[in-house]
Amino acid sequence: MCNLPNAITYKEIFKLIKDNNAWLGINMGRGISGFIVPNHYELYGTETSIDVCGNRIISPNNCLWLTNLDHSHRHADIPLKEHYKGNENKYPMYDNYDGINVNKTKDIPKDYKGVMGVPITFLHKFNPDQFEIIQFRKGTDNKDLSINGKTPYFRILIKNKRIN
């Protein structure tokens, strides 16, 4: 279990995800029931409790499971409703990679054949049957992806497997 943005930035972790050897578990955030912590651990915030046995429990809301246990959730398609054709201005090209930027997973176009950069939160809905992960965050110059000289927060480069 780990903090998503931090874990995904580790090249060793991303390689496991890219190679389909690890993926996100079903529950994250408040969906995780909590962890028993030692007595000296400070309980703070709204996501803490003490159970009937006296166990001190924290339920962090920025955590997730990485697993290699398959589950049906990871094979559910992401519904694609947006169109690239006719909306090209909504999807700027990267300065240093032949691909478009997509700011939100829900905005992935269903008709784009090429490589797309999506936020790391895409992994919450990633279906390996629907998309291929190409690489993480770097352009062809081995620098962070950029658009008009500005670098968006970490992007995962993906390609829709179902478009020929």
Residue 162 reports pLDDT greater than 70: yes
Which of 133, 141, 123, 121 lies closest to 160 in space, CA to CA?
133
Residue pair 110/81 in contact (Cβ under 8 Å)? The answer is: yes
Residue 27 burial (CB count, 10 A): 13
Map residue 105 onto helix, strand or coil.
helix
Residues 6 or more apart whose CB falls under 8 angstroms from that of 135 comprise 18, 156, 157
- Is the pLDDT at 2 greater than 50? The verdict is no
**pLDDT surpassing 70 at residue 62:** no
Reading the block at residue 131, the tokens are 């998309």
Contacts of 61 (CB under 8 A, 6+ apart): 29, 30, 47
Helix (H) or strand (E) holding 10: none
Question: What pTM value is reported for the model?
Answer: 0.79
Whether the per-residue pLDDT at 79 is higher than 60: the answer is yes
Query: Is 70 exceeded by the pLDDT of residue 109?
Result: yes
For the chain, give the mean pLDDT.
87
